[in-house]
Amino acid sequence: EMMLKREFMPAGCYFRGAGTKSGMLSNCFVLPVEDSIEGIFEAVKWTAQIHAAGGGTGYNFSHLRPKGDTIGGGGLASGPVNFMRAFDAETSIVMQGGTHRGANMGILNADHPDIMEFITCKTQEGEIANFNISVGATDAFMEAVTGNKSWNLVNPRNGKVVMTVAAKKLFDQMVQLAWKTGDPGMVFLDNLNKDNPLLKSQGPIESTNVCGEVPLYPFEPCNLGSINLARFVGENKINWERLKEVSRLATRFLDDGVDASKFPLRQITWAARANRRIGVGIMGWAEMLYQLKVRYDSDEAVKLARKVMGFIRKTCHEESERIAGEKGVFPNWKGSEFEKQGKKRRNVAVTTIAPTGTISMVTDCSSGIEPVFALSYVKNVVDEAGLTYTNPYFEQALTESLSNGKRGKVGEVLREVVEQGSVQNILGVPKWIKEVYRVAYDIEPAWHVKMQAAFQEFTDNAVSKTINFPVDASAEDIEKAYILAWKLGCKGITVYRDQSKAVQILSTKGPTSAKATAGKPVIQSKLQLEPL
C-alpha cells in the first residue's frame, strides 16, 4: 500500500533482486583490502561476485604500503593507486556481462604517503572511471589545515614518518582538483565514528558505500528505502500521523529485508545479520518545501529539516525497540553503547539519507534532500537526446498565478524555463514564485552544507548530498564548503561544479550563473608536494 501510494519505496535493488535467483536486496557493501597480494586479489574476487549480483562496493586502501616500499621478496610495492586499477578493470569487465553498472568508492587517508598520487588519479578523463574517490580526513588533519600546521605522511606498514608536508598545501591540492573534476570528496573519519555505537566493541568504521550515505564495517551491507515527503502535505501542513505510520512500517519492512536477502558471500550474510543495519531515508524534500511555500535556502527550512528528520528517527528508533522485543536484539548488541544504556534495539542503525536516483524517478519526486536541480531539465540516462522534465508543482503554481486567460503566457514562461532551468531571471513571474521555487544553482553552497548538516544531526548512518557550484565558482568557494561541512558535523562532502566533467547526468540548456564566464582563467594545479 505504501508503495502504491508512492509514500515509500525500497531501494532499486529490491526491484531487481526480489523474486530472482540471486535474491539480493542490498546495494551497499564494504570490503577489506589487506596489505598482501593474496588479500588484495581476494578482495578483487569478492568485488566481482558482488558486482555480478548487482551491488556496489566501498574500500579504504590506507592499509596498503606505499608505492616503492619494500616487500618480502626484495621487490618494490606497487602502491594503492596501481591496485585500484585492478579493481577498476574488474568493474568494467563484469559490467559488460551484467544488467547493472558496477561502481566503487575508494578512500585513502590523508596521512598515507601516496595521497598525492591518489587525489590526482582521476585527473585524466576516463582514468579509474568506475570509482568515486574521497580523502579520509581526521579532526587532526583538518585542525592542521585550519591552523596552517605541518602534517606527517606515515607508512602504514611500520608506522614511520616518510615525509612532513604543509597540511594546507595538501588540502589546497584536493580543493583545486575537486574544482576541476569533482574529485576527491572528503570523508570525515572522526565525525563518522562520533556516534558509532560499536566503536568500543568493534573498532572504528573506515569506509562507506559508493555514495557515502552508509558507513560500513568490512563485509557489511545495508538495506535502504526512502519515504517520499512530497506525499505528506495537505492543506499547507504536514500529515504527521501518516508520516509516523509510514516511518514505522518502513523500519519493519527493511528489517525483514535483512532476512529475506540472499548474499553472494557468507561473510556478508554474517555481517548483515550481526548488525542488522538498515537505512530509512527520505526523498521529495524539495517538493515538500514547495507545497509549504518555504524557501530552501532559509533558516525556516533548516529548522523544519531538523523537525522532520528528528520525528522520523524517533519513530524508527521506537519501532526498532518494538521489534527487538518481539524478535530479539541484533547479535552485536552485546558490548555496544546500546547495552550500556539499557536500550534494546533490533538494528545497529535505522536512518540514512541516500541519493535515491532510480526510486525518485519512479515516484516522480526530487532526489534525497537535494533542491530541485532545475524546474525543467534534461536527464541523460536513456539516450543522447535525454528526457525533459518539468516540475509539476511549479507548473501548477505558475498556471494558477497566470490564469485569467493567459495560458499563452504560461507556455512562454515554461519555454524560457527549459532554456534557463531557473525562473529567477524571467520577467512577468510573480515574486512569491521566484522566492519559493529555488533550484540547485540559485542556492549558495553554504546553504547546501547547512541543509546537509541539519539532516545529519538526526541521521544514524550518513547523508548523501551533492554541494552544487555554478560554473564560475572559485576554488576558494569549494574550500569554504569543505571546512564548513567538517565544522558542522557532516560525515562527508561531495562537491560538483557545473560543467567540470565532459558528461554529466543532469544538465540544463542555459548557464548556471548570471556572472560572465568568458575569459575566466582556468585554475592550474601543481601536482606535487615538497617536504618541509
pLDDT tens readout for residues 5-31:
999 999 999 998 899 888 999 988 999
Nearest to 151 by CA among 112, 114, 197, 189: 112
Residue 133, strand partner residues: 106
Q: What is the pTM of this model?
A: 0.92
> What is residue 352's predicted lDDT score, i.e. its pLDDT?
98
CA distances from 337 to 196, 199, 460 (A): 8, 8, 14
> What is residue 420's predicted lDDT score, i.e. its pLDDT?
86
Q: For residue range 58-67, what is the model confidence (pLDDT) as tens digits? A: 999 999 999 9
CA distances from 516 to 35, 338, 366, 441, 470 (A): 50, 55, 29, 15, 11
Residue appearing with cell numbers 495537505? 234
Residue 463, helix vs strand vs coil:
strand
Residues of the chain with pLDDT under 50: 96-97, 405, 514-528
> What is residue 246's predicted lDDT score, i.e. its pLDDT?
98
Residues tagged active-site: 209, 211, 213
Q: For residue range 150-161, what is the model confidence (pLDDT) as tens digits? A: 999 999 999 999
Q: For residue range 346-359, what is the model confidence (pLDDT) as tens digits? A: 999 999 999 998 89
> What is residue 524's predicted lDDT score, i.e. its pLDDT?
33
> What is residue 525's predicted lDDT score, i.e. its pLDDT?
35
Give the H/E segment covering residue 278.
strand 278-283
Residue 420, Cα to own-chain centre: how many angstroms?
Answer: 27
For 348, the grid coordinates are: 545497529
Q: CB-based burial of residue 516 (10 Å sphere; 0-12 exposed, 13-18 middle, 19+ buried)?
A: exposed
> What is residue 405's predicted lDDT score, i.e. its pLDDT?
46
CA distances from 299 to 240, 277, 408, 440, 454 (A): 21, 32, 36, 17, 11
For 450, the grid coordinates are: 547547512
Q: CB-based burial of residue 473 (10 Å sphere; 0-12 exposed, 13-18 middle, 19+ buried)?
A: buried
> What is residue 376's predicted lDDT score, i.e. its pLDDT?
82
Length of the chain: 532
Residue 99, Cα to own-chain centre: how many angstroms?
Answer: 23
